[in-house]
């Protein structure tokens, strides 16, 4: 009989970074929306402060987002270097998916906590980042379990204002990551990990 632990570990082991995506909803868009809502409603945050916001970009919005990133990279690197180094990834692994989840931090949440609980003022920005990671992993796991391939990207600090305008979010929010997803082109093998004997101590 498969134990709960085996099911849980199996799910963790199956999630990988997918760099080959096709534009297909392998599960309905509505189900993905439910996944994102479920993650936002359940993942813990410091003092239950909930500083994370997500935007699901689909269709033209998804395409426009990756066009913004592409144009920014071309401006930075030049067309030739872009075509040689980065274009294949942007086109085959990110834009080629069906949608992208944008993750945002709401700084006013952290500022409010710092004002209310000055003793922990230095911790709140750190905890806000940790909460981003918790949400990103949960979404990544959920997308994988629905049959999507996804990866975690950080094309940040180039055209954030344009991305926020496209996403229709408050200019004060901070973009923390992009998660493009779609139908996986291939199975992805697990990467080598440090032995547990080095990373886990039990006393
Ligand atoms: C905090 C964090 C930042 C990452 N940033 C990127 C990134 O910017 N681009 C990218 O392609 N992968 C990024 N990754 C993916 C990791 O490289 C990848 O998860 C790791 O090598 C393990 O491989 P796997 O996802 O296939 O299991 C990031 C992962 C984490 C947790």
Instruction: Locate 82 and state its tokens.
Output: 């872009």
Greatest alpha-carbon pair distance for the chain in Å reads 57
Q: What is the pTM of this model?
A: 0.97
Q: Whose CA is nearest to atom 15 of ligand 1?
A: 152
Per-residue model confidence as pLDDT tens digits over 140-176: 999 999 999 999 999 999 999 999 999 999 999 999 9
Domain boundaries 25-184, corresponding CATH code: 3.40.109.10
Domain ranges (residues) in the chain: 25-184
Buried b / exposed e over 117-134, threshold 16 CB at 10 Å, is eeeeeeebeebbeebbee
From the list 157, 171, 182, 164, the residue with the least C-alpha distance to 55 is 164
List ligand 1's pocket residues with C-beta within 6 A: 16-17, 151-154, 188, 191
To test the pocket of ligand 1, the residue of 69, 152, 176, 191 to mutate (highest count of ligand atoms within 8 Å of its CB) is 152
Residue 36 near residue 101 (C-beta atoms within 8 A)? yes
Instruction: Locate 131 and state its tokens.
Output: 């909460």
Instruction: Locate 146 and state its tokens.
Output: 């629905």
Please tell me the predicted confidence (pLDDT) of residue 51. 98
Bridge partners for 53 per DSSP: 104
Please tell me the predicted confidence (pLDDT) of residue 104. 99
User: What SS3 state is found at 188?
Assistant: coil
How far apart are the CA of 193 and the centre of ligand 1, in A?
Answer: 13
- Measured between its terminal Cα atoms, the distance across the chain in Å is 30
Q: Give the atom of ligand 1 at the shortest distance from the alpha carbon of 188.
A: 26
Please tell me the predicted confidence (pLDDT) of residue 163. 98
Q: Give the atom of ligand 1 at the shortest distance from the alpha carbon of 89.
A: 11
Please tell me the predicted confidence (pLDDT) of residue 1. 81
Per-residue model confidence as pLDDT tens digits over 60-99: 999 999 999 999 999 999 999 999 999 999 999 999 999 9
Q: Give the atom of ligand 1 at the shortest distance from the alpha carbon of 154.
A: 8
Per-residue model confidence as pLDDT tens digits over 8-28: 999 999 999 999 999 999 999
Evaluated on CA atoms 54, 127, 170, 118, the torsion sign reads positive
């Amino acid at each position: 009989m498969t134990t709960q632990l085996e099911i849980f570990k199996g799910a963790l082991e199956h999630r990988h970074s997918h760099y080959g995506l096709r534009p297909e909803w392998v599960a309905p868009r509505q189900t993905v929306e439910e996944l994102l809502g479920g993650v936002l409603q359940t993942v813990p945050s410091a003092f239950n402060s909930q500083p994370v916001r997500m935007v699901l970009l689909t269709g033209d919005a998804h395409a426009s987002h990756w066009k913004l990133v592409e144009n920014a990279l071309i401006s930075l690197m030049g067309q030739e270097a872009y075509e040689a180094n980065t274009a294949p990834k942007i086109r085959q692994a990110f834009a080629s998916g069906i949608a992208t989840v944008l993750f945002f931090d709401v700084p006013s949440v952290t500022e409010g906590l710092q004002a209310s609980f000055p003793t922990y003022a230095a911790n709140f920005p750190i905890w806000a980042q940790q909460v981003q990671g918790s949400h990103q992993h949960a979404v990544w796991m959920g997308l994988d379990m629905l049959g999507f391939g996804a990866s975690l990207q950080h094309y940040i600090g180039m055209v954030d204002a344009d991305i926020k305008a496209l996403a229709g979010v408050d200019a004060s929010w901070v973009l923390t990551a992009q998660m493009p997803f779609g139908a996986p082109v291939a199975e992805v093998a697990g990467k080598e990990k440090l032995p547990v004997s080095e990373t886990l101590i039990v006393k």
